[in-house]
């Protein structure tokens, strides 16, 4: 089985070819950092236009890398949401056009399902169910992943996502964009105990997250401490919150075979290291995708497409692009949180 995957939900345009037995035949990605940097964040209109320009050549290059044509592909998988709707539409419409032209089925992939299943692309031994900490630019959730399309949300953020807090902290410290890697780099030469910062919701009974108060606290100390000390202390506070909340969720994740992390913030080595120790303490396997598979890419979309296609899940060509699309639609809304 061979799946072409397309990703365009935020500021990465990507195309990849993945087989049902986990071979990554091609993986092309075009970032848009330079276009958004002057604005200190992703500008939706600029992103959508950049996706239009980048996507077609990326697909052609990916097919050439793999030495295949569209005729060799079994299905076309494209991100159908959630994300910046203009960008999502570019990838989804392109996927629909290719599927229609080549007479192949379309798989409309939830970007979050791409993140959620990505650890199964890099680790063939990762079985369902697993406890997933999904930490990205727009989401911070604990999910019990029971199977393809079966996600039970145990916790979410009541305000900001962890990645958002990294990006905001980078902006406040003048470290530039994108923020997460810049904060991690600055933290290397800082003292994580130098700046007293809050750990919102620490030890609260429900495993939900909150990062707005931490972000506000960082804003108050800017200028009073060295930037690298603020970066290190901020990162330590995020790690403490993630670990405390994940520990809380573990009691509710009966049967989980592994503790798994995915999403852009999963590329952070302090986060990975702390989760790895937590898993070891609880006798659980720890699985984290390689760094390039944590941040947005099309391999995870192709892989989620492969898992869905293998389960007989394809979509009609009039499937809609969705700006919001929770993985667990049955989860109750949490105060202040969208999904």
Torsion of CA 31, 293, 27, 183, to 10 degrees: 20
Q: Closest Cα to residue 90, out of 5, 31, 33, 9?
A: 9
Structure tokens at 31: 């970032």
Cβ-contact 141, 316 below 8 angstroms: no
Residues in Cβ contact with 53 at an 8 Å cutoff, skipping those fewer than 6 apart = none
Residue keyed to tokens 């958004």: 36
* # residues contacting Mg ion (CB under 5 A): 2
CA 43, CA 297: separation in Å to the nearest integer? Answer: 19
Q: Taking the complex as a whole, how short is the minimal distance between the CB of residue 268 and ligand ATP, in angstroms? A: 3
Q: Taking the complex as a whole, how short is the minimal distance between the CB of residue 214 and ligand ATP, in angstroms? A: 14
Considering the complex, state which of residue 84 and residue 279 has its C-beta at the smaller distance from Mg ion.
84
Structure tokens at 274: 């702390």
295 contacts ligand ATP (rule: CB under 6 A): yes
* # residues contacting ligand ATP (CB under 6 A): 23
129 contacts ligand ATP (rule: CB under 6 A): no
244 contacts ligand ATP (rule: CB under 6 A): no
Cβ-contact 151, 144 below 8 angstroms: yes
Residues 12 to 31: which contact Mg ion by CB under 5 A?
Answer: 12
Q: Taking the complex as a whole, how short is the minimal distance between the CB of residue 324 and Fe ion, in angstroms? A: 14
241 contacts ligand ATP (rule: CB under 6 A): no
Region of residue 316 (phi > 0: left; psi between -120 and 50: alpha; otherwise: beta): beta
296 contacts ligand ATP (rule: CB under 6 A): yes
Tell me the angle at which helices 269-281 and 179-187 cross, rounded to the nearest 10 degrees: 80
Distance separating the N- and C-terminal Cα atoms of the chain: 33
- Decide: helix, strand or coil at residue 15: strand
Binding map of ligand ATP across residues 190-229, x = CB under 6 A, - = no contact: ----------------------------------------
Q: Closest Cα to residue 313, out of 84, 70, 147?
A: 147
User: Residues annotated in the binding site for substrate, as ranges?
Assistant: 134-138, 167, 180, 184, 268
326 contacts ligand ATP (rule: CB under 6 A): no
Q: Taking the complex as a whole, how short is the minimal distance between the CB of residue 102 and Fe ion, in angstroms? A: 27
Binding map of ligand ATP across residues 82-101, x = CB under 6 A, - = no contact: -x------------------
Distances (CA, A) of 295 to 4, 10, 222, 268: 19, 11, 28, 10
* Residue among 111, 168, 199, 208 that touches ligand ATP (CB under 6 A): 111
Q: Taking the complex as a whole, how short is the minimal distance between the CB of residue 176 and ligand ATP, in angstroms? A: 11
Distances (CA, A) of 182 to 69, 166, 169, 176, 231: 39, 9, 10, 7, 9
Q: Would strands 130-135 and 24-31 be described as parallel, antiparallel, or unpaired? A: unpaired
132 contacts ligand ATP (rule: CB under 6 A): no
User: Residues annotated in the binding site for Fe cation, as ranges?
Assistant: 111, 115, 296
* Residue among 4, 7, 11, 154 that touches Mg ion (CB under 5 A): 11
296 contacts Fe ion (rule: CB under 5 A): yes
263 contacts ligand ATP (rule: CB under 6 A): yes
179 binds, among ligand ATP, Mg ion, Fe ion, none (CB under 5 to 8 A by kind): ligand ATP
* Residue among 27, 28, 120, 139 that touches ligand ATP (CB under 6 A): 139
CA 157, CA 159: separation in Å to the nearest integer? Answer: 5
Chain contacts with ligand ATP (rule: CB under 6 A): 10, 83, 111, 115, 136-139, 163, 166-167, 178-181, 184, 263-265, 267-268, 295-296
Chain contacts with Mg ion (rule: CB under 5 A): 11-12
Chain contacts with Fe ion (rule: CB under 5 A): 136, 296
């Amino acid at each position: 089985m061979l799946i072409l995957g397309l990703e365009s939900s935020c500021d990465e345009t990507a195309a990849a070819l993945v087989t049902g037995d986990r071979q990554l035949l091609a993986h092309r990605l075009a970032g848009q950092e330079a276009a958004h940097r002057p604005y200190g964040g992703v500008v939706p209109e600029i992103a959508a236009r950049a996706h239009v320009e980048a996507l077609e050549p990326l697909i052609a290059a990916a097919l050439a890398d793999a030495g295949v044509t569209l005729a060799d592909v079994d299905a076309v998988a494209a991100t159908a949401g959630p994300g910046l709707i203009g960008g999502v539409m570019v990838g989804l419409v392109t996927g629909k056009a290719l599927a229609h032209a080549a007479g192949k089925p379309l798989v409309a992939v939830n970007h979050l399902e791409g993140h959620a299943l990505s650890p199964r692309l890099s680790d063939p031994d990762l079985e369902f169910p697993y406890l997933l900490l999904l930490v990205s630019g727009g989401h911070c959730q604990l999910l019990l992943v029971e199977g393809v399309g079966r996600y039970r949300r145990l916790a979410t953020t009541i305000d900001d996502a962890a990645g958002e807090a990294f990006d905001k902290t980078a902006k406040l410290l003048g470290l530039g964009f994108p923020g997460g890697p810049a904060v991690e780099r600055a933290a290397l030469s800082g003292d994580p105990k130098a700046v007293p910062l809050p750990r919102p919701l620490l030890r609260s009974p429900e495993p939900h997250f909150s990062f707005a108060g931490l972000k506000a606290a960082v804003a108050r100390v800017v200028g009073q401490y060295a930037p690298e000390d603020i970066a290190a202390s901020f990162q330590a506070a995020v790690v403490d919150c993630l670990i405390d909340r994940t520990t809380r969720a573990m009691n509710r994740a009966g049967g989980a075979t592994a503790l798994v992390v995915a999403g852009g913030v999963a590329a952070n080595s302090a986060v990975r290291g702390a989760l790895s120790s937590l898993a070891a303490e609880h006798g659980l396997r720890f699985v984290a995708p390689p760094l390039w598979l944590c941040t947005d890419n099309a391999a995870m979309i192709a892989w989620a497409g492969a898992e869905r296609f293998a389960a007989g899940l394809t979509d009609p060509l009039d499937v809609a692009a969705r700006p919001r699309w929770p993985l667990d639609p049955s989860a109750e809304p949490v105060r202040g949180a969208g999904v």
